[in-house]
Structures are given as C-alpha cells and as structure tokens.
Amino acid sequence: NAGVTQTPKFQVLKTGQSMTLQCAQDMNHEYMSWYRQDPGMGLRLIHYSVGAGITDQGEVPNGYNVSRSTTEDFPLRLLSAAPSQTSVYFCASSADRGGFNEQFFGPGTRLTVL
C-alpha cells in the first residue's frame, strides 16, 4: 500500500492563479481531510469528507474548494491564490472503527504564493 499520496511536493504560484492539490489514498478509508500548517503553528482543518459525495467545512475553508467523487481521491482547489495561502498542506485519511480514529497523513505539499 502506498498509503496517502500527495502531488505536487512543491509549488510556486503567482497571486490570482488557481491550482489543484491532489490527494489519494489506497486504504479504502471513508474519511479524508485537508489541513494547512503555517510556520510554528499546528495544523488547521480546511475541509473534510466523510464519504464519496459528502464534504464539509473545517476551521479555515475560505479560498478553498473540495469535492469527493471517489473514495480514493480528495482534491483541494485554490480558486485565486493569495500570499496568505502560502503554507504546507497535508492530506489525511482514516477509517471509522466505531470510535477509534487514526488519521494517516500524506507527506505534504509546500505551496508558495508570490
């Protein structure tokens, strides 16, 4: 199993550009999430999904869109990049095991917006 994969690893954008961060998992997990981590900070939840076709907002959803058309994939779209979106983005997935919840994280995408 590859676990949780993210592409690209690094990305530089100009203000106003749009792009999609890819996330895929091969563990058949129902739940997937996107977090951002700014320097010296913890992770903040952007959006999450509890299954294909179901998404919801987290703590910092503004400026980001998500969709979940398959169990495996959960892309994060930046609509119009801003310097404030410079961050490291982590995708995570987990399975529902009746209360036990271990999230598996991807390696992250380091995004710089100029």
Q: Which residues bind another protein (CB under 8 A)?
A: 4, 30-31, 33, 35, 40-45, 48, 50, 56, 58-59, 90, 92, 94, 96, 99-108
Report the nearest approach of another protein to the CB of residue 80 (Å): 25
Chain CA centroid to CA 47, Å: 7
Q: Which is nearer to another protein, 85 or 109 (CB)?
A: 109
Cα–Cα distance for residue pair 63/78, rounded to 1 Å:
6
Q: Which is nearer to another protein, 43 or 78 (CB)?
A: 43
CB of 30 to another protein, least distance (A): 7
When the beta carbons of 33 and 87 are compared against another protein, the nearer one is 33
106 and 34 in contact (C-beta within 8 Å)?
no
Longest dimension (CA), the chain: 44
Nearer to another protein, 14 or 98 (CB): 98
CB of 70 to another protein, least distance (A): 18
Task: Scan for tokens 């299954």, then name that residue.
Answer: 51
Residues shown for the chain: 114
CB of 81 to another protein, least distance (A): 22
Phi/psi for 6 (5° steps) reads -130, 140
Kindly calculate the radius of gyration of the chain based on its CA atoms and give it in whole angstroms. 13
